[in-house]
Amino acid sequence: MKTVSSKIKLNMPKINQLRKATITALEKTADSLHTEVIQEQVMPFDTGNLQNDNTFVDYSNSKQGRVSLVSSTPYARRVYFHPEYNFQTKENAHAKGNWYEDWISGKNKEFCKEAFTKFYKKEAGL
């Protein structure tokens, strides 16, 4: 009977770097999505409060692998879930309800995956 033994030495500095890279890449991805949505001019825009002042990235749970794009106005939910509204397009040419849909399942659905990959590689030094 043969006895086999092995030792595993973890490179903790590298593991910590990769862990930190994951968090930073996640936060940068959320920032990029926020910027992308504004540049695509899809959010309803009357006075600019919803888009410019009251929509932000919440990083409070990024260490747990979760960030949120939050619109904090009381009417954000109403206008988001009612695409049948007739949104003015003077300020934002493509204003509509369900404005995140292009990034969830539409033409830009790979945006977050690709952005995260790019940011992660850079932050991890890969």
Q: Which residues contact 98 (CB under 8 A, 6 or more apart)?
A: 80, 81, 83
Please tell me whether the overall predicted TM-score, pTM, comes out greater than 0.85 for this model: yes
Residue 6: band (very low, low, confident or very high) from pLDDT cuts 50, 70, 90: very high
Q: pLDDT tens across 54-82, in order? A: 999 999 999 999 999 999 998 999 999 99
Q: Work out the burial of residue 67: count CB atoms within 10 Å of its CB; fewer than 13 is exposed, 13-18 middle, 19 or more buried.
A: buried
C-alpha 76/C-alpha 113 separation (Å) is: 26
Residues 107-116: b if buried by 16+ CB within 10 A, e if exposed: ebeebbeebb
Joined together, the tokens standing for residue 49 give 């409060």
